[in-house]
Structure 1
Amino acid sequence: MGSEAVVAGVELGGTKSIAVIGRGREILARYRVPTTTPGETLGALSRQLAAWRTEYRPRAIGIASFGPVSVREGVMLPTPKPHWAGADIVGPLAEGFGAVAFHTDVTGAALGEGRFGAGVGLSDFLYVTVGTGVGMGLIVGGRPVTGMMHPEAGHVRVRRSPGDDFAGACPFHGDCLEGLVSGPAIAARCGHGAHLLAADDPRWIYIADALGEAFATLFLTLSPARIIVGGGVGLGQPHLLDLVRARTLTALGGYLGYVDGGNIGERIVPAALGDEAGPLGTLVMAQDRIAAGPGAAG
């Protein structure tokens, strides 16, 4: 079975990258490097993967990368991270592997949560990370959704709270969702990081309002069974989710029968796997690639 095969995974992050070897949920070996230049980072990971191919003989590899990326072509799109724009991600890492799966790091984490965490038993859900940026992984029918590129709903515009005059911190859109609720946005708004903002600080209402507006829109447009929230801001502030749940209900105005005050705690939940969601997700990607058969697209 695909889930019992030994497989490899790589999670490329903006500051660090992790390679793993595993079987099912068990991680057999792990290797971590700082994310510097493509040559240094991908080279170090490729050498470790080559050694593991000899030792473990993994059947497939799952690669999940920070973005934006072209999921179809396996390359990095224009990005503010120096030297990475246009970099070939899949080529160096897939060498020697017969089966390869590639997607964003957020989608990898979503697949990890779906198989082993807060999405277990669900075929349709969203994973939202709120941290350095806002990223979303959409799972429908148990599979990640990709159109012309991966979902970028972190940059949707939301209705602003009355009295909130913060200009936003997104270099592209100013006060899009990411520009209002990400870690850098909170630091720009408050003059310090989210971890220094008291739980009863009224500025959390503005952040919860923006997330609640976005989540209401996502429930209305995509009808996910659950929105799973991860990331340093999403998981680092336990009081925030209760505020977001309340603001989501207000934004919905009682319109959706399946999202109400009685079950909102099951519709918007914290991620369960923490930092392990990404590495485990890359293993899920590889296992699913095996299960899909030799003719399936990566």
Structure 2
Amino acid sequence: MTSETNTMQHQHPLPYNSNNNDNDENEIYLAAIEGGGTTFVVSIARVVKQQQHEQQHNNNTLLQIGPTSLEILNTATFPPKDEISGVIPTWTPTQILDAVCAFLQEHRPSSPSSITTCATNNDKPLTDDAAATPDTALLSVATSTGRYSAVGIATFGPAGVHRHKPNYGTILAGSPKKEWRNVDILTPIREACGFSNNMSSSSLSSGMDSRVRFDTDVNAPALAEFRHRNYLKQQQQQQQQNNHPSPNAPSKHNSPTTFPPPPTTTPLTSLAYVTIGTGVGVGLIINSQPVHGLLHPEGGHVAICPLEQDTFTGYSWGKERSPYAGVNTVEGVASSVALTERYLQMKMEDNDDDKTKQEKDVIAARHGDDDDANKNNNSSRSNENIDSNNTIDSNNAQTRELLSTLPDSHPVWSHAANAIANLCVSLLLLTSMQKIVLGGGIMKRYALYDMIRQRVWSILNGYLDCVEELSDVQQLDNVIVEGCWVKKNKLGSGLVGAYALALDAYEESK
């Protein structure tokens, strides 16, 4: 095990915005890719040097990760959202990767002056016809001869995250997103970034390119959160030292010197990042390193203790190749898919108990809860959310949006809070996590934070009261927290994590 000094040096490498070199030839350009099953977000940034950061401190395009400031130059989402309808079209993995690679090729820095700053664009296609013909996107841009300083890729899992294995950078066969199974994400992106030309075939086949870093979209944000929180803690400790000079420091008025207070917390060496959206993912930092064991953490599939009299039979995604068949797991209860299906089940159960058939048809037609009701009422509503089995398609994002209409007091949120609290308790008991960061679309329901903390306190039943950070329920406010960048920029946590990966890749490749 490394010494504390070495560990902290690894956690906090020399600032990338160091001002040791002022000429343009030393500009550092990074690319970051956040991969989702429906959309990919690709972004390009320039590392800002110290004096530039001071000049641009009010620039809302700046992203800070630890001591490093990045100026976001270009960002795009593929497939882009339709500007009129707001609907995201369905593209194949090949179409998405082609568009991402085209974007990266178009903005490759052949020289430091070749990239120009432009407004962030999250919705428009790369070219006028990219949305209509994504397969031709690569033909519409010129290929640069340059390359980026480093690239970070953060994607959904399960994915190959071991750099020495042949499946590094590939979505694995166990993915619930069938169309993405065994898709190689790393190779086309690496080639589009100009990294493959100077590598041997053995290095390419093993994924050993230190300028490219690939991990899950939860491990990567965990790394970013860990780096940034450690940096903030160092800054706080430095401020305390400045306010309490050492005993040997000369005193201006020869008055007794104030001794610095002893540290009140242990160094941060562990952190969990949990995202709750269409699925539930868990990224872990333990002993200051991302966890890569047999695979990577899949904490969304651990079993939970459900609330009493819970009649929910599990979410549809869990029926195939999911632990416990998706019944009474974190993802099987707290994901947006599971919560939507639970809500629909609860509504139909209420209808069976309290409504006549005519009343049920009216309610179902209004809420889109029953395909037969739509047929009986000759509803003009589109059936795009109804699958081939004549059931509500919870995979459809528009269907899941109904969750946003529910009040905080709705029972589905109690089930969600219980499932997430069960996961937090497991993390505390198994890994002694110092920080558990909760994110994802479901956690935009801010009432859940307090509900989860209260439930964690109840489940623990006083067992960890001896730990200062867990000595009372209010202390959990500092243990179970929201992300550092939730209110600071418009970039998603996965993209911030991808930039953290790129920074690590750059540091390693120097």
Task: Tell me if TM exceeds 0.5.
Answer: yes
Distance 1:21 1:223, change over 3 A: same
Residue number in structure 1 paired with 2:274 = 128
1:157 partner letter: A
Q: Which has the higher contact order (CA 8 A, sep 6+)?
A: 1
Q: Give the C-alpha shift of residue 109 in structure 1.
A: 2.4
Instruction: Determine the C-alpha separation between the residues in 1 that align with 2:96 and 2:430.
Output: 38
Q: Give the C-alpha shift of residue 43 in structure 1.
A: 1.5
Residue number in structure 2 paired with 1:176 = 329
Per mean C-alpha deviation after superposition, the further-off stretch among 200-209 and 67-76 is: 200-209
Note the 1:74-85 alignment, pairs <5 A.
74-78=169-173, 79-85=175-181
Q: Give the C-alpha shift of residue 120 in structure 1.
A: 5.0
Distance 1:182 1:118, change over 3 A: farther
Deviations 1:221-246 (A, max 9, x none): 11111111101111x21111111101
Q: Give the C-alpha shift of residue 140 in structure 1.
A: 2.5
Residue number in structure 2 paired with 1:254 = 462
Instruction: Determine the C-alpha separation between the residues in 1 that align with 2:494 and 2:279.
Output: 16
Percent of aligned pairs with the same residue?
A: 35
Deviations 1:249-289 (A, max 9, x none): 11112222132323100111122324432222211101111
Q: Among residues 22, 32, 39, which one is paired with 2:94 in the alignment?
A: 39
Per mean C-alpha deviation after superposition, the further-off stretch among 157-166 and 189-198 is: 189-198
Note the 1:96-175 alignment, pairs <5 A.
96-97=194-195, 99-116=211-228, 121=233, 122-169=268-315, 170-171=318-319, 172=322, 173=325, 174-175=327-328
Contact 1:25/1:116 (<8 A) preserved: no
Contact 1:126/1:136 (<8 A) preserved: yes
Residue number in structure 1 paired with 2:156 = 66
1:88 partner letter: D
Which has the higher Rg, Structure 1 or Structure 2?
2
Over the aligned positions, Cα root-mean-square deviation in angstroms equals 2.2
Q: Among residues 388, 404, 407, which one is paired with 1:198 in the alignment?
A: 407
Q: Give the C-alpha shift of residue 139 in structure 1.
A: 1.6
Distance 1:119 1:108, change over 3 A: farther
Instruction: Determine the C-alpha separation between the residues in 1 that align with 2:156 and 2:440.
Output: 14
Instruction: Determine the C-alpha separation between the residues in 2 that align with 1:202 and 1:52.
Output: 48
Give the paired residue count.
Answer: 293
Q: Among residues 214, 225, 229, which one is paired with 2:438 in the alignment?
A: 229
1:27 partner letter: I
Instruction: Determine the C-alpha separation between the residues in 2 that align with 1:120 and 1:186.
Output: 36
Distance 1:33 1:136, change over 3 A: same
Give TM-score, length-normalised by structure 2. Answer: 0.54
Q: Give the C-alpha shift of residue 6 in structure 1.
A: 2.0
Instruction: Determine the C-alpha separation between the residues in 2 that align with 1:58 and 1:179.
Output: 40
Residue number in structure 2 paired with 1:7 = 30
Q: Does 1:17 align with 2:40?
A: yes
Contact 2:339/2:412 (<8 A) preserved: no
Per mean C-alpha deviation after superposition, the further-off stretch among 73-82 and 60-69 is: 73-82
Instruction: Determine the C-alpha separation between the residues in 1 that align with 2:306 and 2:155.
Output: 31
Distance 1:209 1:276, change over 3 A: closer
Q: Give the C-alpha shift of residue 180 in structure 1.
A: 0.5
Instruction: Determine the C-alpha separation between the residues in 2 that align with 1:203 and 1:120.
Output: 36
Give TM-score, length-normalised by structure 1. Answer: 0.90
Deviations 1:88-146 (A, max 9, x none): 11101112235110001122222333345799544421110111110011122443211
Q: Among residues 479, 485, 497, which one is paired with 1:273 in the alignment?
A: 485
Note the 1:232-247 alignment, pairs <5 A.
232-234=441-443, 236-247=444-455
Residue number in structure 1 paired with 2:476 = 264
Instruction: Determine the C-alpha separation between the residues in 2 that align with 1:93 and 1:18.
Output: 13
Instruction: Determine the C-alpha separation between the residues in 2 that align with 1:195 and 1:284.
Output: 31
Deviations 1:35-90 (A, max 9, x none): 72222111111122122223354211111111211112211112232431111111
Contact 1:112/1:278 (<8 A) preserved: no
Per mean C-alpha deviation after superposition, the further-off stretch among 224-233 and 20-29 is: 20-29
Q: Give the C-alpha shift of residue 158 in structure 1.
A: 0.7
Q: Name stretches of at least 5 consecutive residues in structure 1 with no aligned partner.
A: none
Q: Among residues 27, 30, 35, which one is paired with 2:75 in the alignment?
A: 30
2:480 partner letter: I
Instruction: Determine the C-alpha separation between the residues in 1 that align with 2:337 and 2:160.
Output: 25
**Helix, strand or coil: the match of 2:492?**
helix
Q: Among residues 188, 193, 197, which one is paired with 2:341 in the alignment?
A: 188
Instruction: Determine the C-alpha separation between the residues in 1 that align with 2:403 and 2:105.
Output: 41
Instruction: Determine the C-alpha separation between the residues in 2 that align with 1:226 and 1:261.
Output: 15
Q: Give the C-alpha shift of residue 178 in structure 1.
A: 0.3
Contact 1:113/1:277 (<8 A) preserved: no
